[in-house]
Amino acid sequence: MEISSEMHGEILALKIKESRLDAAAALSFKEKMRTATASHGGRVVIDMRRVDFLDSSGLGALVAGMKMLDGGRRLELARCGPIVEKVLRLTRMDSVFVLHRDLPWTTDGQDAA
């Protein structure tokens, strides 16, 4: 799984560059998430724009990624497509993750979700 990372102020932005977050990608996602967040204590936002398929293993990988964050931080997901949003809603994970319609650093800090 290809994921890029960059800083936007105090926000670590991770961009998933694959169309599927599924069983085949889950282990790689968790490893890359662990590496990217190991030395970062601030907000973590995952740009989900390219992801158009999310299965239970992918959802589990997102939950595992959030559990890697210390201090009770919540993982933030940005620009989820309609299919991913539907999966999050049906599983009630939309109340677990912070969801943004756009990238939070482009909306002057306003949560659009």
Tens of pLDDT, residue by residue over 77-105, are 999 999 999 999 999 999 999 999 999 98
Q: In this structure, what are the phi and psi dihedrals at residue 29, rounded to the nearest 5 degrees?
A: -60, -50
Q: Is residue 36 part of a domain?
A: yes
Residue 84, H or E segment:
helix 82-90
Provide the number of structural domains found in the chain: 1
Q: Is residue 113 part of a domain?
A: no
The CATH number assigned to the domain holding 63 equals 3.30.750.24
**Amino acid, single-letter form, for residue 97:** F
Tens of pLDDT, residue by residue over 3-54, are 999 999 999 999 999 999 999 999 999 999 999 999 898 999 999 999 999 9
Strand partners, 78: 47, 100
